[in-house]
Amino acid sequence: MKELEQYVRSIPDFPEEGIIFRDITSILQDPDGLQLAINQMQDLVKDIDFDVVVGPESRGFIFGVPIAYNLKKSFVPVRKKGKLPCETIEKEYSLEYGTATIEIHKDAIKPGQKVVIIDDLIATGGTIEAIIELIEQLGGEVVRIAFLMELKGLEGRKKLDGYDVEAVLQYEGK
């Protein structure tokens, strides 16, 4: 089996010149790559005491659900505004160009529950920062945040200072 890094497709000058886009669809399209990614992400959380996996739409679902299933934990989705059917709380956060709003069901996290957040990528950290605020507003405690990939040049860990952050793959650039 190849190393996980070998499954990542690097696309130069996308979305703009000087950027190397790290495409994970090549991981998802290969059975060995997908299994390797999930296993390595699961290794980042398997020894942590936690109750719930939280994953943001949509790639947090891809990686978070199998990890929750394998470790016999519940899974809580965080979605874009207007996608969840029950009573929610929401958080608006900044994007590179504008803002976005995410939501979580108001009853999704119980006070005192220990939470692991799973997502595919940490770039600027804004989405995860907003998710942390929602979890803590509901009384949950974020005990680890695990990513498949980190773009270190965007310094997303700075927004998550004070939290336990891990990434399977790390790239120096943006």
Catalytic residues: 59, 96
Strands 114-122 and 88-95 come out as unpaired
CA distance 22 to 25: 9
Cis before 58 (ω within 30) = yes
How many other C-beta atoms can be found within 10 angstroms of the C-beta atom of residue 137? 13
Distance CA 1, CA 78 (A): 33
Residue 120's φ and ψ, nearest 5 degrees, are: -80, -35
Integer Cα distance of 109 and 75 in angstroms: 10
Pairing of strands 52-56, 114-122: parallel
